[in-house]
Amino acid sequence: MKLGPFTFGYNATEDKGRRQAPRKRIYREEKVLTDVKRKKLIATTQDQVRNLTLVPWMVRKHLDYTANHHFEFKTGNDKLDATVNRIFKWHGRPENFDFMGRFGRDEFFRLFELEKVVSGDAAMIKLQGQKLQAIESDEIRLCSDMPDIKLANGASISDSGIVVDAQGRPIGYSICRRTDSGGYEFDHIEPSENVIFDGYWSRYKSQYRGVSPLAASVNTVQDLYEALEFNLIKAKMHALFGLAITRDPNDDEGGFGGAGGSTAEVSDAEAQDNGSHLDLNVRAVNILDMNPGDKVQVIESGTPSSEFIDASYLYIQLGMLALDIPVTCFDSRRSSFSARIADLNEYEVSCEPKRTKNRYVRMAYSDWLLRTIWNDPSSAWPLRALATEAGMGLRDVQSEVHWIASGSPWLDKYKQILGDELGIALGLDNGIDAARRRGMDIFENIDKQSKVIEYAKAKGVPLKTGAMSDRVAIESISKDGEE
């Protein structure tokens, strides 16, 4: 048997004329998403967050799993631990943290992640007085009124508004202000050491600005909502035509279309005079006096169709994939409980790198705050003295700061606790990580539980403690009760 000639290569590189031709050039991301196109993309995603309920829900769900962290600092030195914890509790207040005095630390960082998701990236500027100023993505840009700034050592300003050195590393940011006309005016160049900047990247090297992960779903979500709106309009139009009155085709008598109809409010004669329609009183019981052969049919709408609803679920899922959110989060009724747990476990995996990005941002903040207080001789916080007394330097103190992600909610608390207990007993897990997965601090829990036990003992109230495996009988009793 003679075989035909073989073609070696990737089919994706061959233009067969059956689909969109393969791309031939590779550009920097700023050349693909130019300043003008970037502004359009940001404006579109922001508009969808304002008006399309699916998109803001997706963003909020993403923030619930990725943006929430709590502060943890434990060195074993009680005085130092208490001081550092008081510092961050104090600084988390809106009046101490935010330059505008509006947002506390947790809300500020949540909105920072929101801006990254919707607009691609975001920044905050470190100011005097240990405050932070929010800078939204579109405020970092080149402006037409920007003065001629002399940059040394081969530095330059990219088209995206970031100042880079000769090796392409960011060393500054062009900060602009919005004008009432919708344009921008130049404010200043902020050195990179004063800026905390982060975004969503799709390129390994050739990208200065982040791109919203929602960009891939913009058209899908827009088409979905337009289709939903058109189907809703169609259903409303069907509702306008509620009744159809027909007569026997053999009935050639004149009058009201074969329906000598009268209502509780309209006489036969009045109906005959109307000649073309039957007036129904929506606030009364209407009785139709029909002629033989006449019929009244209710016009019912099959809009939206079951096929459209099923297709809509597919488009909703495609939109949610932009943020890796499983469709079971949207409608749990379409899946089993075990499927929801499996989806949540997979979602946790996809959330981890996003949590890590936000943890690094918070570490940059905590390092800055501790360094500022450490180097301020007039500070009322005795941080440096206590750390020196404990034999610790600034870097040692900074490294003991931990930002713990808030974790996931319980889906089946009883079974999940049993699983954690078994993993710990077999050496496959530990109490610290098990607690952190739920956004808790095991040491804080132990301290609180110790207070509860001491208080209960003082009041003579017995408390049951011990491992779940020591109370297997309780489980069997509860199951027998259910049966």
Residue 149 CA to residue 172 CA, distance in Å, equals 12
Is residue 173 one of the residues assigned to a domain?
A: yes
Task: Indicate if 355 and 439 belong to the same structural domain.
Answer: no
What DSSP letter does each residue of 183-234 carry, written as one string?
Answer: -EEEEEEEEGGGEEEEE----SSS-SS---GGGGGHHHHHHHHHHHHHHHHH
The 10s digit of each residue's pLDDT in 32-42 is: 999 899 999 99
195, 340: one domain: yes
Beta strands in 224-298 (DSSP E): 243-246, 295-298
What average pLDDT score do residues 64-85 get? 94
**How many domains would you assign to the chain?**
3
Judge whether 279 and 263 are in contact, CB under 8 Å.
yes
Last residue of a domain, one of 408, 431, 447: 408
- Is 13 inside any structural domain? no
Rounded Cα–Cα distance for residues 231 and 148 (Å): 55
Lowest mean pLDDT among 27-31, 133-137, 223-227, 412-416: 412-416
Residue 366 has pLDDT above 90, yes or no: yes
- Spatial separation of the C-alpha atoms in residues 267 and 271, rounded to whole Å: 6
| pLDDT score recorded for residue 2 | 57
Whether residue 323 has pLDDT greater than 80: yes
Same domain, 379 and 271: no
Let me know if residue 38 belongs to a domain.
yes
- pLDDT above 90: percentage of residues in the chain: 48
- pLDDT surpasses 70 at 248: no
415 in the same domain as 379: no
Q: What is the mean pLDDT of the chain?
A: 85
Asked if residue 21 has pLDDT above 50, the reply is yes
Q: What is the CA radius of gyration of the chain?
A: 33
For residues 326 and 347, the answer to whether their CB atoms sit within 8 Å is yes
| Structure-model confidence comparison of residues 337 and 343, the more confident one | 343
In a domain? residue 312: no
pLDDT of residue 237: 76
Give mean pLDDT, residues 28-51: 92
Res 473: pLDDT:
45
Contact indicator for 315, 224 with CB cutoff of 8 Å: yes
pLDDT band at residue 306 under the 50/70/90 scheme: confident
Q: Are residues 73 and 184 in the same domain?
A: yes
The pLDDT value given to residue 268: 45
From the list 95, 92, 127, the residue with the least C-alpha distance to 110 is 92
Q: Are residues 60 and 161 in the same domain?
A: yes
Q: What is the pTM of this model?
A: 0.79
Query: Please, which pLDDT band fits residue 431 given cuts at 50, 70 and 90?
Result: confident
| pLDDT tens track for 438-453 | 777 888 888 888 899 8
* Same domain as 127, residue 50: yes
Identify the band that residue 477 occupies on the pLDDT scale cut at 50, 70 and 90: very low
80 and 144 inside one domain: yes
Q: Is the pLDDT of residue 63 over 60?
A: yes
pLDDT digits (tens, 9 = 90+) for 139-190: 999 988 888 888 888 899 988 899 999 988 999 999 999 998 888 999 999 9
What is the average pLDDT across 79-88?
97
**179 shares a domain with 49:** yes
Burial of residue 233 (CB within 10 Å: 0-12, 13-18, 19+) is exposed
Asked if residue 258 is part of any domain, the answer here is yes
Query: Of the residues 381, 408, 435, which one is the last residue of a structural domain?
Result: 408
227 is a domain residue: no
* Residue predicted with more confidence, 322 or 288: 322
- Structural domain boundaries, residue 53: 32-213+329-408
Record the tokens describing residue 57, joined without a space.
Answer: 């829900």
Task: Report the 3 state secondary structure along 11-73.
Answer: HHHCCCCCCCCCCCCCCCHHHHCCHHHHHHHHHHHHHHHHHCCHHHHHHHHHHHHHCCEEEEE
Residue 415 within a domain = yes
Residues 70 and 208 in one domain: yes
Task: Establish if 350 belongs to a structural domain.
Answer: yes
Q: What is the DSSP letter of 135?
A: E
Higher pLDDT, 84 or 421: 84
Both 438 and 464 in one domain: the answer is yes
Domain final residue, candidates 382, 408, 434 = 408
Q: Quick one: 344 and 442 in the same domain?
A: no
